[in-house]
């Protein structure tokens, strides 16, 4: 049995913030708030080493095809924002995103088929994939009762779209199904977590903010311990039904929430004592200047500039006392601004999740110079390309 396109609301119906996070009306009503995407939560604890190595290989391959990128990289050593852009261009040259694009297209074609729609002409090289999918689904003993169903999990403030809701013909039991067109060899952690969240989620109506359980929406009890991956490697003409352990995935979900909270709080776990020594900035003993009568205000301002730990603090300090600064204080303020910008640039470049980038932006964005703003945009693009 196939479902009609209007039976369930999809993620495309949901408003999103600038970072792509779904905006969800709270259960009790009120202003919509941004929920973390289920896929983002599911990747929190995932080992990224294989993905990182793949990205490095693709970047190197792309650079080998584009001598202009190599030349530009040599000309922009130390410019992190520009180098990030060049890495993106190199990955594009290596067609790093080609499989993801094909996978998205296959998802859309199969969604139309399962909704009883005519997908129209399809690329001949994927005819075998489509046949394999249809044959597999005909043999599973399931009927598809929901396609691209948008779900929220209010307790964890996460939301996302389940590819399929399956119903076993023999007893009416409901299961979450996930269509994967790439490798799942290293995906057990994130996939099980993702499906566990969906199995415990509520179907969400973005127009009204109303929620329904999967059982209310589709009828039947939901299996929260077992889900299914429909593995259809694009271009290989084969399909397989794979079980996913959602009991383990549910534990991963709670562990991921804790890890994200720790990651955020850990920025406060190391605090400066204010005691610092920069030997390079210290004059040699034989060249110590003769003490001069310097206003007390300059000494206090210099010390305050040194202790400023953020662009916001530095800007507020300068706004209040900059008019009283002498030449030495002005020069040091400029140096301190550069140090803080570099530290913030390193922090931005190390971010691997949109939510962390949002938090950095909310804390520092109003005081960022244009080059840091460009770096945030480039990092956002890079994160969402993964």
Per-residue pLDDT at 96: 61
How far, in Å, CA of 264 to CA of 100, rounded? 30
For residue range 96-112, list pLDDT tens digits in order. Answer: 666 777 888 888 999 99
How far, in Å, CA of 95 to CA of 62, rounded? 8
Kindly give the interhelix angle for 354-364 and 246-265, rounded to the nearest 10 degrees.
Answer: 20
How far, in Å, CA of 375 to CA of 365, rounded? 11
Per-residue pLDDT at 42: 92
**Of the candidates 356, 348, 355, 358, the residue with the CA atom closest to the CA atom of residue 379:** 348
The alpha carbons of the chain give a radius of gyration, in whole angstroms, of 27
Per-residue pLDDT at 289: 53
Three-state secondary structure string covering 228-252: EEEECCCCCCCCEEEEEEHHHHHHH
How far, in Å, CA of 203 to CA of 225, rounded? 19
How far, in Å, CA of 159 to CA of 199, rounded? 12
Per-residue pLDDT at 297: 46
Distances (CA, A) of 6 to 116, 117, 161, 216: 11, 12, 15, 16
The total number of residues written for the chain in this structure: 386
Question: Could you give the domains of the chain?
Answer: 11-40+103-251 (3.40.1350.10), 297-385 (no CATH)
How far, in Å, CA of 144 to CA of 352, rounded? 35
Residuewise pLDDT in 10s, the chain (386 residues): 455 434 555 666 899 998 889 999 999 889 999 999 999 999 998 877 776 787 788 888 888 888 888 888 888 888 888 888 888 888 777 776 667 778 888 889 999 999 989 888 888 888 999 999 999 999 999 999 999 999 999 999 999 999 999 999 999 999 999 999 988 988 999 999 999 999 999 999 999 999 999 999 999 999 999 999 999 999 899 999 999 999 999 999 999 999 998 988 898 898 888 888 888 876 665 554 545 454 444 677 777 888 888 888 888 888 888 887 888 888 888 888 888 889 888 888 888 888 888 888 888 888 889 888 888 888 888 777 65
Per-residue pLDDT at 303: 79
- Name the DSSP class of 21: P
How far, in Å, CA of 351 to CA of 193, rounded? 22
pTM of the model: 0.67
How far, in Å, CA of 210 to CA of 214, rounded? 13
Per-residue pLDDT at 283: 65
């Amino acid at each position: 049995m196939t479902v009609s396109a209007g039976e369930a609301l999809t993620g495309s119906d949901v408003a999103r913030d600038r970072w792509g996070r779904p905006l969800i009306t709270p259960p009790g009503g009120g202003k919509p708030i941004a929920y973390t995407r289920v896929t983002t939560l599911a990747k929190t604890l995932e080992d990224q080493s294989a993905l990182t190595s793949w990205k490095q290989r693709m970047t190197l391959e792309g650079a080998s095809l584009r001598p202009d990128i190599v030349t530009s990289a040599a000309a922009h050593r130390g410019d992190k924002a520009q180098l990030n852009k060049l890495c993106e261009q190199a990955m594009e040259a290596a067609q790093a995103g080609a499989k993801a694009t094909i996978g998205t297209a296959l998802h859309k074609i199969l969604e139309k088929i399962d909704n009883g729609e005519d997908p129209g002409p399809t690329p001949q090289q994927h005819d075998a994939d489509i046949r394999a999918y249809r044959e597999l689904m005909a043999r599973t003993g399931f009927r598809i009762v929901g396609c691209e169903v948008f779900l929220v999990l209010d307790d964890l403030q996460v939301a996302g779209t389940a590819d399929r809701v399956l119903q076993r013909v023999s007893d009416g039991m409901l299961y979450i199904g996930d269509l994967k067109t790439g490798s799942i060899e290293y995906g057990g952690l994130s996939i099980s977590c993702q499906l566990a969240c969906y199995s415990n989620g509520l179907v969400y109506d973005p127009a009204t903010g109303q929620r329904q359980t999967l059982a209310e929406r589709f009828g039947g009890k939901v299996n929260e311990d077992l889900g299914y991956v429909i593995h259809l490697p694009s271009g290989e003409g084969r399909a397989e039904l794979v079980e996913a352990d959602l009991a383990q995935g549910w534990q991963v979900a709670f562990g991921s929430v804790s890890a994200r909270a720790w990651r955020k709080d850990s920025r406060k776990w190391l605090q400066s004592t204010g005691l610092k020594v920069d030997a390079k900035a210290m004059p040699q003993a034989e060249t110590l200047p003769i003490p001069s009568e310097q206003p007390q205000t300059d000494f206090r301002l210099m010390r305050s500039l040194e202790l400023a730990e953020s662009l916001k603090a530095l800007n507020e300090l300068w706004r209040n006392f900059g008019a009283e600064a002498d030449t030495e204080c002005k020069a040091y303020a400029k140096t301190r601004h550069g140090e803080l910008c570099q530290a913030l640039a390193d922090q931005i470049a190390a971010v691997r999740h949109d939510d962390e980038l949002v938090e950095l932006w909310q804390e520092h964005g109003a005081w960022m110079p244009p080059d840091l703003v460009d770096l945030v945009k480039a990092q956002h693009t890079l994160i969402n390309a993964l």
